[in-house]
Amino acid sequence: MRAYHYTEVPAEKAEEGAKDTTVRWVISQRQGAPNFAMRVFEVGPGGHTPQHEHPWEHEIFVLAGRGRVKAGETEQDLTEGCVVYVAPGERHQFLAGAEGMRMICCVPHPKDE
């Protein structure tokens, strides 16, 4: 077991196509987690993640701020305390409102082939 504050993990610039977005891999294989990774995304005011899809699911919990999630043609407002499930293969994007947004995102580690 290991307990620590999430800010002890360095923030990294999010993947290409993101705007004003950082990610902290707070729990991952680096900490010995064999199955899932927990990430904390911080999306600045007016920022967004890239619009993308992949073969694994996401579980999201909005910690602070406001924004929107797009999935295909559907858009939904998000506020503190909202949760989002993104299915494998579903095209999605998170967009922050004027105050920005901080959220936890859990994903499975890729399986060895």
| Domain-located, residue 92 | no
Mean of pLDDT over the chain: 94
Is residue 2 a part of any domain in this protein? no
99 falls within a domain: no
- Going by pLDDT thresholds of 50, 70 and 90, the confidence category of residue 98 is very high
Give pTM, 2 decimals: 0.92
Residue 110 has pLDDT above 80, yes or no: no
More confident residue, 113 or 33: 33
- Whether 108 is covered by a domain: the verdict is no
Residue 23 located in a structural domain = yes
Residue 101 CB-density burial (10 A; 0-12 exposed, 13-18 middle, 19+ buried): buried
Neighbouring residues of 20: CB distance < 8 A, sequence distance ≥ 6: 43, 44, 45, 46, 47, 48, 96
Supply the pLDDT for residue 111.
63
DSSP 17: T
Q: What is the mean pLDDT of residues 16-20?
A: 95
Domain range for 67 is 10-79
pLDDT tens-digit readout, 47-83: 999 999 999 999 999 999 999 999 988 999 999 999 9
Look at residue 71 and tell me if it is in a domain: yes
**Which pLDDT score is estimated for 58?**
92
- The pLDDT of residue 109: 84
Residue 42 belongs to some domain of the structure: yes
Q: Decide if pLDDT at 28 tops 60.
A: yes
Q: Residue 112's pLDDT is what?
A: 55
| Residue 90, domain member (yes or no) | no
In total, how many domains does the chain have?
A: 1
